[in-house]
């Protein structure tokens, strides 16, 4: 993995893994779709990890079903757009970024969906100073990330598609079906070059979600990203990401063992599913999602506490506050759920006594 530039908090995927992408391109002798930097086989290898014939080790970027990744890559090699759907924390954005980096060499063509996203974010806008001075012209036009991707034959990412108002979403219909974008003010259009495609993400647990119209949904091939199947798989995901974040943030603390990672992930999985790991005790679930991404945040905060205010070893006291903050989003309902979990589950586990006491001290 390429060293991260010291003055950049988080490098783009194509910067952080530039060495791997270069090695993959050199070793990749399989057919590549037009404008793709790598073949579909090499893109999947980059995402899932593996070893090249020259001995170069490719780190896994996504831990999950190989078949789902292959379907996603194959979709982008066709004329259909890709919709990554799942609950929060299932690495939709992470996977989309790495797919764009491997295919187009750039993951920076992004539209961030919000309730305030305007149609200009998907089509084009105007430099009004030049528009008033010169009238409509190509120089006065401000291309959106979607238009730039069409002009260059690249992948564009649309994050949180269902947060965008429905009438704005539908601006994508013609782009995805006709592969062109009309500019009536200039009596012209932009036609997409080979290699252009869209990766959109959406989750189904947000409040105020704008459902996709059937016309727009038909333009996407939907891949549902599940939560990790097993405790061990989720522990490995969290450990890998926390260690990477620790390096990028220059945190001197280290996860000496997987015990704290294991405990945080187990707490999240039990509260998420509403039953303990041994299936003996039924639990109430909090309003929080308790995703893998939130587990990563809890452990990263614990590493920071241990590094700056402890002896560098992450312990129960370092993760207790993060657990409380992740679980208790509703100060009334969630606090009851958390207290019941502490008293009926955590307290009875002998090797969890330190975690029980640390959480009880926080109230």
Q: What is the pLDDT of residues 258-315, one digit of tens each?
A: 788 999 999 999 999 999 998 999 999 998 888 898 999 999 999 999 888 988 888 8
Q: Cα–Cα distance between 121 and 167 in angstroms, integer?
A: 13
Q: Per-residue pLDDT averaged across 16-28, rounded?
A: 94
Structure tokens at 66: 């190989």
Q: Cα–Cα distance between 209 and 126 in angstroms, integer?
A: 29
Instruction: Name the pTM for this structure.
Output: 0.88
Asked if residue 55 lies in contact with residue 66, where contact means CB atoms within 8 angstroms, the answer is no
Q: For 165-209, what is each residue's pLDDT tens digit?
A: 999 999 999 999 999 999 999 999 999 999 999 999 998 766 557
Residue where the block lists tokens 């506050």: 321
> What does the pLDDT read at residue 276?
93
Residue 252 has pLDDT above 90, yes or no: no
Cα dist from 210 to 118, 164, 169, 296, whole Å: 14, 7, 9, 28
> What does the pLDDT read at residue 259?
84
DSSP state of 259: H
What band does 3 get if pLDDT is binned at 50, 70 and 90?
very low
Asked if residue 87 lies in contact with residue 203, where contact means CB atoms within 8 angstroms, the answer is yes
Q: Per-residue pLDDT averaged across 310-329, rounded?
A: 90
Q: Per-residue pLDDT averaged across 241-260, rounded?
A: 77
Q: Where along the chain do its domains lie?
A: 13-224, 231-361
Average pLDDT, the chain: 91
CATH 3.40.50.300 for domain 13-224: yes
The neighbouring-strand residues paired with 180 are: 191
Q: Cα–Cα distance between 223 and 85 in angstroms, integer?
A: 6
What percent of the chain has a predicted confidence (pLDDT) above 90? 72
Query: DSSP H helical segments within the chain, as ranges?
Result: 13-16, 18-27, 40-48, 66-76, 92-104, 128-134, 145-152, 166-169, 171-178, 214-217, 231-248, 259-273, 292-309, 316-327, 333-341, 353-361
Return the number of other C-beta atoms located less than 10 Å from residue 198's C-beta. Answer: 25
Q: For 227-241, what is each residue's pLDDT tens digit?
A: 888 999 999 989 888
């Amino acid at each position: 993995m390429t060293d991260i530039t010291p003055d950049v908090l988080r490098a783009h995927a194509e910067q952080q893994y530039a060495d791997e992408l270069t090695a993959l391109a050199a070793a990749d002798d399989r057919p590549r779709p037009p404008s793709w930097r790598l073949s579909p086989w090499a893109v999947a290898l980059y995402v899932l990890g593996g070893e090249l014939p020259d001995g170069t080790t490719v780190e896994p970027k996504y831990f999950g079903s190989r078949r789902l990744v292959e379907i996603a890559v194959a979709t982008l090699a066709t004329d259909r757009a890709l919709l990554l759907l799942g609950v929060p924390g299932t690495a939709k954005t992470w996977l989309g970024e790495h797919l764009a980096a491997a295919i187009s060499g750039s993951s920076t063509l992004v539209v961030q969906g919000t309730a305030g996203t305007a149609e200009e974010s998907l089509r084009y806008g105007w430099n009004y100073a030049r528009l008033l001075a010169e009238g409509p012209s190509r120089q006065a036009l401000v291309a959106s990330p979607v238009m730039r991707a069409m002009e260059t034959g690249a992948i564009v990412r649309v994050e949180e598609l269902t947060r965008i108002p429905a009438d704005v979403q539908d601006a994508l219909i013609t782009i995805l079906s006709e592969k062109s974008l009309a500019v009536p003010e200039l009596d012209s259009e932009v036609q997409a070059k080979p290699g252009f495609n869209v990766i959109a993400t959406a989750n189904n647990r947000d409040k105020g979600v704008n459902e996709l119209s059937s016309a727009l949904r038909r333009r996407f091939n939907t891949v549902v990203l599940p939560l990790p199947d097993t405790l061990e798989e989720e522990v490995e995901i969290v450990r890998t990401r926390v260690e990477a974040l620790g390096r990028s943030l220059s945190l001197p603390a280290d996860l000496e063992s997987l015990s704290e990672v294991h405990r945080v992930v187990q707490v999240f999985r039990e509260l998420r599913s509403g039953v303990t790991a041994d299936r003996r005790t039924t639990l109430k679930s909090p309003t929080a999602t308790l995703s893998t991404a939130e587990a990563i945040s809890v452990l990263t905060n614990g590493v920071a506490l241990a590094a700056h205010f402890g002896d560098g070893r992450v312990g129960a006291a370092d993760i207790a506050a993060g657990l409380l903050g992740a679980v208790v989003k509703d100060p009334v309902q969630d606090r009851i759920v958390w207290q019941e979990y502490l008293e009926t589950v955590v307290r009875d586990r002998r090797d969890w006594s330190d975690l029980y006491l640390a959480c009880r001290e926080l109230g």
